[in-house]
Amino acid sequence: MQRRKFLSSAVAIVTVLSGCGSDDSGGNKSDTPSDSQPTATKTQTVMETQATTKTRSPEPTESSQDSLEVLRTRIEEGGVTVTAAKRDGDQINLTYLTLEDTQAGLSEEIGYVTGVYTRSVKEGEEASRMDVTIVDAEESKIGSFHIERDWSVQYNNDEISGEEITIKVLKTLESDKIE
């Protein structure tokens, strides 16, 4: 099964989550550089999709829009091009462009986006979930996945490991194009 093959390759790069959890005492969950240090690749830093509600979404507040812009900026700083980001009620819908054509490359991107969202949750992001759509250069959908806020909270509280959150996220991956 393709998903099992993809999951096993992704688990091998769980390190993409490292860096999204650090405490204020200076300790890190990993040996990765902090945000203040430049990084050479996404793997050195940190690591959405079902139907949305039919009810009318509340208008986003100024602070929620600011946090969405911070999230978008952080993702783009890692070399991932965000083509759309918006709030829909208490969820975030994000679309990004991939140039990756391998499972390992896509796993790295998925992990990176997960890590940025998880870090944002630690810093106060209140969206209950982030739905992510992956598109190619022609804007054709490659796949989609989602990240539950609860998973990020569990990771940030050391209740689940980087491998566990990665598996949870990758189990939501829907794609006919990822081999």
Reported pTM? 0.70
Angle, alpha carbons 5-72-179 (nearest 5°): 15
Query: Residue 60 falls within a domain, yes or no?
Result: yes
Percent of the chain with pLDDT over 70: 63
Q: Taking residues 11-24, what's their average pLDDT?
A: 44
pLDDT tens-digit series, residues 54-78 = 233 334 444 556 889 999 999 999 9
Residue 12 lies in a domain: yes
For residues 162 and 12, the answer to whether their CB atoms sit within 8 Å is no
Average pLDDT over residues 102-129: 94
Q: Please check the confidence at residue 31 and state whether its pLDDT lies above 50.
A: no
**Does residue 177 sit within a domain?**
no
Closest CA to 144 of 166, 170, 163: 170
Please say whether the beta carbons of 84 and 95 come within 8 A: yes
**Residue 42: inside a domain:** yes
The set of residues, in sequence order, having a beta carbon less than 8 Å from that of 53 and lying 6+ positions away, is 88, 89
Tokens of 105: 């490359």
Domain count, the chain: 1
What pLDDT, on a 0 to 100 scale, did the predictor assign at position 131? Answer: 98
Q: Give residue 147's identity as a one-letter amino acid code.
A: I
- Contact at 8 Å (CB) between 107 and 175? no
Angle between helices 2-11 and 103-122 (to 10 degrees): 60
| pLDDT above 80: residue 34 | no
pLDDT of residue 175: 85
Q: Which domain holds residue 18?
A: 2-171
Whether 179 is in a domain gets the answer no
